[in-house]
Amino acid sequence: MIEFEHVTKSYPDQTVAVADFSLAIDSHRTIALVGSSGSGKTTLLRMVNRMVEPTAGRVLIDGTDVGNVDPVKLRRSIGYVLQQGGLMPHHTVVDNVAAVLRLNGMAKSPARERALEMMDRVGLDRAMAKRYPGQLSGGQQQRVGVA
Ligand SMILES: Nc1ncnc2c1ncn2[C@@H]1O[C@H](COP(=O)(O)OP(=O)(O)OP(=O)(O)O)[C@@H](O)[C@H]1O
Ligand SMILES: [Mg+2]
């Protein structure tokens, strides 16, 4: 469960990006944040992984205040897919997928094996594992991001 508890984000120039926002999102729910440009959606998401620290209020994941969690560990525990630009262009597809496992200490060989399984899950032919992101279509690159 992710909970936003009365979160506010204001900037030194007095811009209030988010004002007293509260929402509880149950586990295993799919939600969409919809709002006009500049209404604070990205700011809210960035508060979950501490890319933005709220000025007031707090964000909890399964009851734990993310403000008390090491930001690097927190970010490695959260999956996210960027629409574009999220892949490392100088690493192969399989090593892009294995990147977070490697950062979390898994050895190269099991991390690559797990990455190949993830490629199967998202419908990417294993033959593409040794290619670089620039050698894939846009949709294939997005699936690498999902994997
Ligand atoms: N460093 C900053 N200083 C001042 N204002 C900022 C800063 N960063 C963001 N903002 C403002 O915070 C508000 C919320 O921005 P945010 O990126 O959360 O909007 P959004 O809902 O994701 O918009 P969009 O749909 O355009 O992506 C905007 O008005 C933006 O101009
Ligand atoms: Mg945005």
- Distance separating the N- and C-terminal Cα atoms of the chain: 22
Q: Tell me what pLDDT residue 76 has.
A: 87
* Ligand 2 centroid to residue 49 C-alpha, Å: 15
Q: Tell me what pLDDT residue 85 has.
A: 63
What superfamily would CATH give domain 2-76? P-loop containing nucleotide triphosphate hydrolases (3.40.50.300)
Domain extents for the chain? 2-76, 93-146
Q: Is the pLDDT reported for residue 83 higher than 70?
A: no
Residue 77, helix vs strand vs coil = coil
Per-residue pLDDT tens digits for 32-81: 999 998 899 989 999 999 999 999 999 999 999 999 999 999 998 888 77
Residue 64 CB contacts under 8 Å (≥ 6 apart), including other chains: none
Amino acid occupying residue 80 = Y
Question: Is the C-beta atom of 17 inside 6 A of ligand 1?
Answer: yes
- Contact, 87 vs 141, CB < 8 A? yes
- 84 pLDDT band (50/70/90 cuts)? low
Question: Is the C-beta atom of 80 inside 6 A of ligand 1?
Answer: no
Q: Tell me what pLDDT residue 70 has.
A: 96
* Ligand 2 centroid to residue 48 C-alpha, Å: 14
Per-residue pLDDT tens digits for 91-129: 999 999 999 999 999 999 999 999 999 999 999 999 999
Q: Which atom of ligand 1 is nearest to the CA of 44?
A: 18
